[in-house]
Structure 1
Amino acid sequence: MLNDTLKIIYIRDLSKLKQELELYKSEDNIWIISKDILNSAGNLSLHLIGNLNAYIGAELGGTGYVRNRPNEFSLKNVPRHELISKIERTIEMIDTVLPSLTEDQLKSEFPQIVSVGKVSTEYFLVHLATHLNYHLGQINYHRRLLDN
């Protein structure tokens, strides 16, 4: 089923996100921005954690997670170990919630109206995976450009 494939992809990419944060030479550099790069790796990481925990954890898994999207972009200098811990908890959530979804749930309309409008749950889960991968690429470039 699609949810088994997506679970593998989410865990792979969240593990890569952890690795990217661990590769920064200086923890402070995770939070650097420049005139052309306005989102730090730290804020993008918080954004991905919030996004997945809200849409998959809370909405599909009933985890009770409450998202504070503005904080994802305004918080600064969250310690690296805390970011990594949040990613690890997100991996655990993915590992629990995705396998529990039935084929009927995947085919049904996603419970929330999102920026792309009314879509199936399977469509939105694929969208979230590509969103994760998009920002993961940005973080990789951020590290290679600004971690001097």
Structure 2
Amino acid sequence: MQIETLKTLFNRDLNKLKQEIELYQNENNLWKIEKGISNSAGNLCLHLIGNLNNFIGSELGKTNYSRNRPLEFSLKHIPKTELIEKIEETILVLNKTLETVTPEILQQEYPILVFESKTTTEFFLVHLSTHLAYHLGQINYHRRLLDS
């Protein structure tokens, strides 16, 4: 897989994430949960930011990012402007890191064991892209259902 394809997908979806967060008319609704919806859009956004900064920024880019996964789901009422800034920072980290990833690195084993068995870096980056798209879809539905 070409790294340019991954960069294109990550940039597309992170910019769409930024747009979704910006589209909330009532900022408090970013943190709303109801009717069996267990995660707010704000918490999903924090989760995506933490996930990508950890698995791409820290592991591949050596950014020294320190993830606190429980806070991604427990923090509330982070200002919308701060979420957007964090998304923009994540885009910069991903682009800088992915610039350093060679075809050889893509075929190497990903540095940490995340699943039951080892994967290549290429496989794990594709997984991260689909994980981003999955939660992006949840945020889109969250906004349309709960921000009306």
Q: TM-score when scaled to structure 1?
A: 0.98
The offset of 1:3, in angstroms, is 1.3
Following TM superposition, where does structure 1 have runs of at least 4 consecutive aligned residues deviating by more than 6 angstroms? Answer: none
SS in 1 for 2:93: helix
Structure richer in helix, relative to its length: 1
Q: Deviations over 1:87-131 (max 9, x none)?
A: 000000111010211111110000000035310000000000000
- Counterpart residue identity of residue 145, structure 1: L
SS in 2 for 1:60: coil
- Counterpart residue identity of residue 100, structure 2: S
User: Identity of paired residues, percent?
Assistant: 61
SS in 2 for 1:61: coil
- Counterpart residue identity of residue 71, structure 1: L
SS in 2 for 1:109: coil
- Counterpart residue identity of residue 114, structure 1: V
- Counterpart residue identity of residue 79, structure 1: P
Partner of 2:144: 144
Q: Kindly indicate whether residue 23 of structure 2 is the aligned counterpart of residue 8 of structure 1.
A: no
State how many pairs are aligned: 148
In structure 2, list runs of 5 or more residues that go unmatched.
none
Query: How far apart are the structure 1 equivalents of 2:119 and 2:32?
Result: 36
Q: TM-score when scaled to structure 2?
A: 0.98
When the two chains are superposed, the root-mean-square deviation of aligned CA atoms in Å is: 0.9
Partner of 2:56: 56
In structure 1, list runs of 5 or more residues that go unmatched.
none
- With 90-99 and 1-10 compared, the bigger mean Cα shift is at 1-10
Q: Deviations over 1:34-75 (max 9, x none)?
A: 031010000000000000000000000000000000000000
